Structure 1
Amino acid sequence: MSTFTSVLAFPFHVLASVFRFIFQTLRIPFPRLPFSSLNFYRPLGGRAGPSDPYSVADRWVRSLEDETGAQCLSRAPANASGLDAGPSSLPGSGDLRSRYGAVGRRMLPDFVLGSYEEALRICQKEARIGCIILVSDEHDDVPDFKRHTLTDVNFVDLLHKNDFVVWGGDIRDREAWSAARKLQATTYPFVAFISLQPPRAPSSFTPNASRSTTPSLTVLSRHQGSSTPASGPTSTATLTDHITHQLLPRVSPFLGRIRAAARERELERALREEQDRAFRDSERRDREKVARRLEEEKRAEDEKRAEEQRLKAIEEARIMKEERKAKWRREARSALVGVEATGPHALRMGVRMPDGQRLVRMFERHDRVTALYCLVDTHLNPSESKEVVQEDAQSGEDALRDLMQQSGESTEEWWGFKLFLAYPRKEVAWTSGTTLSEVDGLEKGGQVLVEMISAGRKSEELPSGDGSDGYDTEESE
């Protein structure tokens, strides 16, 4: 039946809409038509235009601004007129006037641009009171409601100061029509107030019903009908009186507790996050400290291993040098010393060792300085092996020179000692191929002193005295 009556009334509503559009454009009050109060019309497909909730709500708010000549609070710049508000005779309007300019400027509530469900979610999430405004341009009471109630400075300021969630629409749009059905609106203009309320106690007739402790959105009051006269259900006086003396005293304490609990939960959450962040930072610092310690230990271990390898290489090189030197002492040193000379032209050499021991040996004139050094080395480092490989002096001296080059040691480092003439004091340096008779001071024999320079031993210089070792030399003869 409702579909049939809607089809019959459709041409009349189309005609009324055309005339209303013309009258609104010319700013002429639209006369009351006999069929305009019929409430059996329902939208068959919605008005043409955007279908998303944001665009539909924005279009309705803009048309409301055009029709009333007012601006929503969110669209109006503060003190746009540049004039001081000055004193106002309207009670409760001082704040709004001081924020938005001179006397005579008209304001609309700050409507939520979105769907009806979005407005309800805001009310529930933020514990705020919702004001739902539904109109139908088919009702003659709507224009007066728009121009007087919705733009009344007391009403707008009351909604603004108490942080109401205001949502509205025309039931010709699907979203507003759906909201009208849920709110059981039958007459327009229609105003409903919605807020969170404590859950109702279960009925005594349902003893097994579970009691919920979660607050739920509840329709607190419905106001529908004409905004005139001043006692009308949607007039400014009626709505402001209802908000001030009934709605706010009833709802504000409960919503205040909810917001306080929400703030406490938020503080606890922030505290937990801060504690978690501090714990994570501490954990991160501990991990970094452990990583640094492990890295330092690894670096120290690597350095220690490298040092050990270096020392090992040095030790191996030293051992290798000592082994080569020991092999040379076993196999070739005795050959370089040779057999003691016995002829009349032999050179008698006296050698004073670092420990005070005196050695005397006869050398041939063609014997090399190497033989004298080998003699001293034989007494300082006696070989455990009795085997002697006989080599001629020349080949043995060449082999010795090659060993010195391979070891990388200097002459002094190889021998570990130096030889000096007793008087006058003069070093007898080792040189390959030099004979004893070619050394200045040893042409006829003589006395030499041994001074140690090897590592682990202190160089020791014995007093030369008069150079006598208790033996005569050819010089003395």
Structure 2
Amino acid sequence: MDSLSETQQHAVSTLQAISNCDTEAAIALLESSNWDVQAAASLIFDAAPTAGPSISPRSPSPRRRIENLEIDDSHQGALRDNRRARDSNRARRVSLTSSAPLFRADLHPHVQSYGIARYLPTCPNSLVSILAFPLHLLSSIFRFIFGVLRIPIPQIRFSGLNFYRPLPSGPSDPRSVSDRWVRALEDETGAVCYSRAGTQIVGASSATDAGPSSLTARAGAGVNGEPFEEGMKRLPDFTLASYEDVLRICQRDTKIACVILVSDEHDDVAEFKRSTLTNPAFVQLLHDNEIIVWGGDVREKDAWSAAQKLQATTYPFVAFLALQPRRGSRAPSTSSSPPTLTVLSRHQGRSVPATAPTSAETLSNHLSSQLLPRVTPFLERLRNAARERERDRTLREEQDRAFQDTARRDRERIEAKIAQSERENLEAARRVEDARQTEQRQEQERLESERLAVIRMEWRRWARKSLVTPEAAKGTPGAIRIAVRLPDGDGRTIRQFAPSDSLTGLYAYVDSQLIPSHFPASADPSAPPLGTPIDEESLVRQSIGATEWWGFRLFLAYPRKELAWKSHTRLVDIAELKGGAQIVVERGGSHSSSRATSPNGGEDDDYDTESD
């Protein structure tokens, strides 16, 4: 040891603290791995066990990146001297030539004794393994000889030719490993985690969710925050995640992290679990200050990596980490110098007596009087700044939403106005078109009506000349005297009709009386207009009714009865006209009564009887 440099001595001490191996064996392993502590530990922990799952050889890979954490260990000087003294007294010396194994046989199941048996291959069980067995044996002998002579050799293994692959021992993801370790801790201490009903921590950047322990409740344990029974021991709420996830959670939530590392190869670990981790005051202090607690056994890969990064040399080991301003920075909260995750303090070694570095009293006093007063104000400023940024972000989002809503409403209002204007324009165009069509139709109807009126007048004048027979002379046997009252107050007329006159002649006579006076009878045409009926049969064949053709209707004055037009009907054949009659003429479609009301309230037909 005296011939080794300080760095090499530190590497030997670290490997001894992890594996509890002999000094010379540690030196031999470190020399064969070029003084790489992690590679030397991998030779131990990654070796295939004699009775258990075999581990496939790993291909050479670059050294694992160690995260650089600033370490605030100003209070650890005295602890370092005590640690080195204890490690020196507890080291066990075992000769390389001795048949006894260099490591204890009760190590973790994945750790195999370091000796001749380590280099012997597993029992072959296939044809390829049988053929490769001599190569395995020869390689193992050479490796053992080179190891004794301290000659470094490359990591060449033939285990890849072995087709035997036993079942794995269990899940190896960080969450499962943490859960398994917490369960074992509960079984060993008889305690339960402070709260097992908490929701898993969401937002870790890894694929594995992080969260507090959610183990099955034991009899008497509080669940969902209910008080524990008196005398029930408690454990801190361990976060079930990887070490890297815990660091990310610590940075994201601006909280203090407590990292607990143990190794069952150390005699102080059992007492530390029983006294410190179950101390009510210490557990309550961690819970009240929302400190993120994470732990593990260094025999597991994740815990071993954390021990390397935190520079743990003996166990149990407790470290507190939190965000702190960079050294030499006057404005840690600015974007140019963000805070960095810093190791605030490290505690390692015995947990008894009360003044021991990892006792519950020491850790509680350190938290209450030193760490929390020093760290909490800065973390609170970070939280306030984060809350302020969150408020600003929320305010900006609300403003953006309000702006977008306003823009959307304005856009909808403009679109509605445009649509309304288009509808109004279409409606106005439709109204103009309807008015134009209506006017055009009315004009056509007016022209057609005028044309028909001209034709009708021509026919009426022709009918007055051709269809109206001369009046029968007085005293003609069977003559019928008919008094006709014209509409619109045009007076009345009396005429003698011969017995041979037809109802058509009566209608033609009445129609001739309605011809305006500026059409003299002497100018009547001798031929009907083109397309008009010239006889009764033609009149019957018209598509319109008689009332529409004649333009008026005839009614008997008393009793009031319509004298409808019929073809080929003589006046003498109408019983109501025998002996004479009074007829009232009404324009076509008029339903007004021809009777007039006398001033005395009685009815008067305004006609004189023949006796008059």
**Scaled by the length of structure 1, what TM-score is found?**
0.68
What letter matches 1:330 in structure 2? I
- Residue 81 (structure 1) aligned to one of 211, 220, 224: 220
Equivalent AA in structure 2 for residue 55 of structure 1: S
* C-alpha displacement of 1:130: 1.0
User: Residue in 1 aligned with 2:533?
Assistant: 391
Is residue 366 from structure 1 mapped to residue 502 from structure 2 by the alignment? yes
Does residue 221 of the first structure (1) align with residue 345 of the second (2)? yes
Cα 1:320–1:250 change in 2 (3 A) is: same
Cα pair distance change 1:454/1:354, threshold 3 Å: same
The letter for the 1-side match of 2:607 is: G
**Which stretch shows the higher mean deviation, 47-56 or 118-127?**
47-56
Letter in 2 for 1:224: Q
* Residue aligned with 2:584, SS: strand
Task: Judge which range, 310-319 or 141-150, deviates more.
Answer: 310-319
- 1:236 Cα offset (Å): 0.7
Distance 1:165 1:55, change over 3 A: same
- Counterpart in the other structure of 1:31: none
Counterpart residue number, 2:35: none
Q: Is the 8 A contact 2:250 2:257 kept in 1?
A: yes
Aligned to 2:248: 121
1:341 maps onto 2:469 in alignment:
yes
- For 1:67, what is the secondary structure of its paired residue? helix
2:483 paired with 1:353: no
In structure 1, C-alpha distance between the alignment counterparts of 2:216 and 2:359, rounded to whole Å:
28
- Given that 2:555 and 2:585 are in contact with CA atoms closer than 8 Å, whether structure 1 keeps it comes out as yes
CA deviation profile, 1:377-415 (whole Å, cap 9, x unmatched): 7669x9xx9872363322332233x224xxxxxx76787
Q: Is the 8 A contact 1:119 1:130 kept in 2?
A: yes
Once the 2 structures are TM-superposed, how far is the Cα of residue 110 of structure 1 from its aligned partner?
A: 0.6
- Rounded to whole Å, the distance in 2 between the matches of 1:265 and 1:16 is 54
Contact 2:536 2:568 in 1 (8 A): no
One-letter code aligned to 2:173: D
1:49-448 aligned at under 5 Å gives the runs 49-73=170-194, 74=196, 75=214, 81=220, 99-202=226-329, 212-270=336-394, 323=448, 327=452, 330=455, 333-334=459-460, 338-344=466-472, 350-356=484-490, 365-368=501-504, 371=508, 374-375=511-512, 388-389=529-530, 391-400=533-542, 402-404=543-545, 418-421=553-556, 423-424=557-558, 426-433=560-567, 435=569, 437=571, 438-439=573-574, 441-443=576-578, 447-448=582-583
3-state SS, counterpart of residue 347 of structure 2: strand
Taking a change above 3 Å as real, the CA distance of residues 374 and 132 of structure 1, as seen in their structure-2 partners, is: farther
C-alpha deviation, 1:342, in angstroms: 1.1
Of residues 286-295 and 69-78 in structure 1, the stretch that sits farther from structure 2 once superposed is 286-295
How many pairs align? 415
Shift in Å, 1:243: 0.8
- Distance between the aligned counterparts of 1:272 and 1:63, measured in 2? 49
C-alpha RMSD over aligned residues: 5.1
Alpha-carbon contact 1:192-1:222 (below 8 Å) kept: yes
Mapped partners of 1:231, 1:213: distance in 2: 38
For 2:282, the aligned partner's letter is F
User: Offset of 1:121 from its aligned partner?
Assistant: 1.8
Match of 2:584 in 1: 449
Aligned-partner Cα distance in 2 for 1:311–1:361: 51
Contact map agreement 2:503 2:567 (CA 8 A) in 1: no
- State the one-letter code of the partner of 2:541: A
Partners of 1:323 and 1:288 in 2: CA distance: 52
Change (3 A) 1:8 1:243: closer
Determine the C-alpha separation between the residues in 2 that align with 1:329 and 1:441.
35
* Residues 15/290 of structure 1: CA separation in 2 closer, same or farther (3 Å cut): same
For the residues of structure 2 that align with 1:344 and 1:114, how far apart are their CA atoms? 133
Greater displacement, 313-322 / 120-129? 313-322
Q: Is the 8 A contact 2:540 2:567 kept in 1?
A: no
CA distance in structure 1 between the partners assigned to 2:566 and 2:399 by the alignment:
83
Provide the TM-score with structure 2 as the length reference.
0.54
Match of 1:420, as an amino acid?
F
CA contact (8 A) 1:341 1:362 kept: no
Q: Confirm or deny: 8 A CA contact 2:467 2:508 kept in the other structure.
A: no
List per-residue Cα deviations over 1:10-38 (Å, max 9, x = no partner).
8544513279x9xxxxxxxxxxxxxxxxx
Instruction: Report how far residue 352 of structure 1 moved.
Output: 1.7
Q: Is the 8 A contact 1:79 1:99 kept in 2?
A: no
2:261–2:316 CA contact under 8 A, matched in 1:
yes
Tell me the residue number matched to 2:106: 16
- Seen in structure 2, the aligned counterparts of structure 1 residues 327 and 271 have a Cα distance that, compared at 3 Å, is same
Assess if the C-alpha contact under 8 Å between 1:134 and 1:170 holds in 2: yes
Q: Determine whether 1:467 maps to 2:607.
A: yes
TM-fit CA distance, 1:187: 2.0
What CA distance in whole angstroms lies between the structure 2 residues aligned with 1:314 and 1:412? 28
Q: CA deviation at 1:370?
A: 5.1
Unaligned runs of 5+ in 1: 22-46, 84-95, 204-209, 405-410
8 A contact 1:79–1:101 mirrored in 2: no
- The offset of 1:113, in angstroms, is 0.7
1:66 CA drift (Å): 1.6
CA drift of 1:134 comes to 1.4
**Aligned twin of 1:42:** none
Residues 398, 103 of structure 1: alpha-carbon distance in 2 compared, 3 angstrom cutoff:
same
Identity %: 41
Superposed displacement of residue 190, structure 1: 1.5
The letter for the 2-side match of 1:242 is H
Distance 1:301 1:461, change over 3 A: farther
Moved more, 252-261 or 131-140: 252-261
1:79/1:16 CA distance change after superposition, 3 Å: closer
Q: Which amino acid aligns with 2:368?
A: T
Specify whether residues 149 and 82 from structure 1 end up closer, same or farther in structure 2 by C-alpha distance, changes over 3 A only: closer
**Distance change in 2, residues 1:241/1:81 (3 Å):** same
CA contact (8 A) 2:192 2:221 kept: no
Amino acid at match of 1:16: D
After superposition, the Cα gap between the structure-2 partners of 1:373 and 1:317, relative to the gap in structure 1 and judged at 3 Å, is farther
Cα separation, partners in 2 of 1:314 and 1:362, compared to 1, 3 Å? farther
Q: Against the structure 1 CA distance between its residues 161 and 114, is the aligned structure 2 distance closer, same or farther, given a 3 Å change threshold?
A: same
Matches within 5 A, 1:19-34: none
| Contact 1:60 1:170 (C-alpha < 8 Å) held by counterparts | yes
Cα deviation digits, residues 122-181 of structure 1 (max 9, x gap) = 212222111111112222222221121111111111111111111111122221122222
Q: Match of 2:488, SS?
A: coil
The answer to whether the 8 Å contact 1:80/1:101 transfers is: no
2:60 is matched with: none
1:2 to 12, 21, 30: 30
Indicate the larger mover: 315-324 or 356-365.
315-324
Q: Residues of 1 paired with 2:606 and 2:410: CA distance?
A: 78
- Do 1:397 and 1:432's aligned partners in 2 also have CA atoms closer than 8 Å? no
Q: Hey, what's the Cα distance between the residues in 2 that align with 1:425 and 1:314?
A: 46
Query: Cα distance, 1:58 vs. partner?
Result: 0.9
Instruction: Find the residue that maps to 1:180 and give its secondary structure.
Output: helix
